[in-house]
Structure 1
Amino acid sequence: MYKIWLFPFLLLFFHYSVNAQADWTLKRTNDGINIYTKTVSSSGLKGIKVKCSLPAKLSQMVALIMDVDAGEDWVYGTKSSTLIKKVSPSELYYYSEVDIPWPLSNRDFIAHLIVSQDPRTKVVTINGPTEANYLPVKKNIVRVNHSNGKWILTPTKNNAIQIEYTLEVDPGGTIPVWLVNLFATSGPTETFKKMKAQIQKSQYVNANLSFIDND
């Protein structure tokens, strides 16, 4: 069975596209996690959007997402996740391999994470486009050439945040479209459930990020 994640990386990344809200169809609601899908290409591949709320600070969530070496702990289907280059506290590159059951080949990607915050609304945006040519292709692993992911973190009352994650992917190779779409809802559900537990670890709860304003 095919595994995808949401983190960027997540899971395999899906390419973010801007479309009307009406295009999205709610496919699953589980433990406060709402998963929407829509068809984004003539081949039938589906984009996904995940929305949920968490009792957390903005810096807490950003610290978790930017701690890419811990991706194996909570991102569904992640075999490895390794920091390649830290450009600044709010920008980095990392490599991840996604575990695909035999006889299909594993996928890998290099993601470029960039964090920004609106100084007025305090809304945080994290873009995660892939950089397919950043590292040489590995033998027996299919490189994901076209993908992107986007987090939008909106502060709400009582030290909580509203999370919206949108993505779509072309995983390359010979993975059947129906199999990709089948797990487009299962992967995000498992990832976000684990994320809710992971974010309560002390290194994230106590994170103090100079580029994030929690007030």
Structure 2
Amino acid sequence: MLKKLFFAVLLLCITFATASAQNKWTLKSDKDGIKIYTSPVENSKFKALRIECNFQSTLTQMVAALLDLKTRTEWIYHTKSIHLVKEVSPTDLYYYSEISLPWPAQNRDFVAHLVTKQNEETKVVTMDGPVASGLVPEKDGIVRVKSSLSQWVIVPLNKNEVKVEYTIAAEPGGNIPAWLVNMFASEGPTQSFKALKLQLKKAQYKNAHLPFIKNY
């Protein structure tokens, strides 16, 4: 067990070191166990976000909740709709999502390519979700997000606790007021992670079995 913990901590340190080398993260919020960092992005007026939080959850429980597309509207901030576009495998899928924005901004939508992997030694799970193009036609009145990189890193701390780090850097396109950007950079992650904590308590995730995920 000590060996597994060592590898998990080592990988987490490498992840943080890599991120620090590429981004200068500044802590913007630390409340309710949820830390929110921002970082400037080269050639962009929008900052990257990193959210960190510990959850009382097994690896399988967390991954099952994140992969359950049909319930993402229940906990992801301002998500209006979401559906599966293409499933290459249970760990490789494409999905469409529409984000609801308050007036006068137009809604945004995107197609993400979500790939889930687990390190055999550390048991750390990564879920990468860059945007994909060409799979869903653009819709009138909705601005298509054409540039976005996001990643979930789920590190097991013990059998029933994980540390989650979510990072995202996106170009929402069109004109967005500064107050709306600030709202999604602060209130959005906090509300989403609070809702995710409640989501994880549901029986379908506690009793989930994923053959491609090995628990700590």
TM-score higher than 0.5 here?
Answer: yes
TM-score, length-scaled by structure 1: 0.87
Distance 1:206 1:169, change over 3 A: same
Q: Which residue of 2 aligns with 1:174?
A: 175
**Max radius of gyration: which structure?**
2
Which sections of structure 1, spanning at least 5 residues, go unmatched?
1-16
Partner of 1:24: 25
Superposition misfits of 4+ residues, deviation over 6 angstroms: none
List per-residue Cα deviations over 1:46-103 (Å, max 9, x = no partner): 1110011111010111111111111110000101011122221111111110001122
- What's the counterpart of residue 144 of structure 1? 145
Alignment of 1:58 onto 2:59: yes
Structure 1 position 39, deviation (Å): 1.0
More helix by share: 2
> What secondary structure, in the 3-state scheme, does the structure 2 residue paired with 1:72 have?
helix
2:73 is paired with a residue whose SS is helix
- Closer/same/farther in 2, CA of residues 22 and 128 from structure 1, 3 Å limit: closer
Cα RMSD for the two superposed structures: 1.7
Task: Report if the CA contact (8 A) 2:83-2:96 is conserved.
Answer: yes
Show CA shifts across 1:111-162 (max 9, x none). Answer: 1110000000100000001113211101111100000210000001252101
Counterpart Cα distance in 2 of 1:151 and 1:43? 22
1:185 aligns with 2:192: no
Equivalent in the alignment of 1:199: 200
Which amino acid in 1 is paired with 2:180?
L
Partner of 1:94: 95
Matched, 1:214 2:215: yes
Q: Find the aligned partners of 2:34 and 2:53 in 1 and give their Cα distance.
A: 5
Cα distance in 2 for partners of 1:139, 1:43 equals: 25
Structure 1 range deviating more: 171-180 or 90-99: 171-180
Normalising by structure 2, we get a TM-score of 0.87
Give the aligned length: 199
Give SS of 1:59's match: helix
Report if the CA contact (8 A) 1:37-1:49 is conserved: yes
CA contact (8 A) 1:43 1:177 kept: no
The alpha-carbon deviation at position 179 of structure 1 amounts to 3.4
Task: Tell me the residue number matched to 1:165.
Answer: 166
Deviation at 1:18, TM superposition (A): 4.2
Please give the secondary structure, in 2, of the residue aligned with 1:122: coil
